[in-house]
Amino acid sequence: MEIIDLSHFIAESMPVYPGTEPPRIVDACTVAKNGFAEKLLSLYSHTGTHIDAPGHILAGAATLDKLAVGCFLGPGCVLNISGVKGTDIEISDLEKEEERIAKAEFVLLHSGWAKHWGGARYFAAYPVLTATAAHWLVGFNLKGVGVDLISVDRMDSTALTVHKVFFAKNMVIIENLANLDGLFGREFIFSCLPLKIQEADGSPVRAVAILDSMK
């Protein structure tokens, strides 16, 4: 079995969505002072590599605790959209992988933007799905869509159209993924298990790809 980590580290110096406070990580107890180590964590539910629940945007929609645990793992496929010209991801950029998408429960989009993590470029001019392409994807039997981007919508979007297309189908969204380039053309199980938080609109996750090393 091979496991590939698809997550960014959580640290006080990490990039966060503009307007969001960075996490605070305090050594509340130390071995030297208390005989044991324990950290006090203060962070937003959409910090770092994280999962969005439908209730993040849609009033009355499911929060993470209302979704069965099986909604957070299943067969995945990575689509390489790093060659997309401009900032729109169209159906034509995806349909060549239609057969692989049909076999998956999670589609993960590799834009290559993870290389900009930690810099201002990460928040600017990244490619996003058009509403038409998002509607095309929900025609498959998917549990969720993941991206190596700060958001599935543009930074200046107030309508959050792509979020709403997926959430209307009770799908989850995983943002700020990393290391997707190691999964091109490979079969794997994707896992994005969230913390079990009551009424969670989102949660940081340790997203991983689990591969059968015999294949």
Q: Which of 1, 2, 3, 6 is nearest to 148 (CA)?
A: 6
Work out the number of other CB atoms within 10 angstroms of the CB of residue 158.
Answer: 7
CA 88 – CA 155 distance, rounded (Å): 14
CA 134 – CA 162 distance, rounded (Å): 6
Say what the pLDDT of residue 177 is.
98
Say what the pLDDT of residue 213 is.
72
Say what the pLDDT of residue 4 is.
97
Say what the pLDDT of residue 214 is.
59
Say what the pLDDT of residue 25 is.
98
State pLDDT tens for residues 34-77. Answer: 999 999 999 999 999 999 999 999 999 999 999 999 999 999 99
Predicted TM-score (pTM) of this structure: 0.96
Q: Give the CA radius of gyration of the chain.
A: 17
CATH of domain 2-8+44-211: 3.50.30.50
The H helix count followed by the E strand count for the chain is 4, 13
CA 34 – CA 28 distance, rounded (Å): 9
User: What residue ranges of the chain have pLDDT lower than 50?
Assistant: none
Say what the pLDDT of residue 215 is.
56
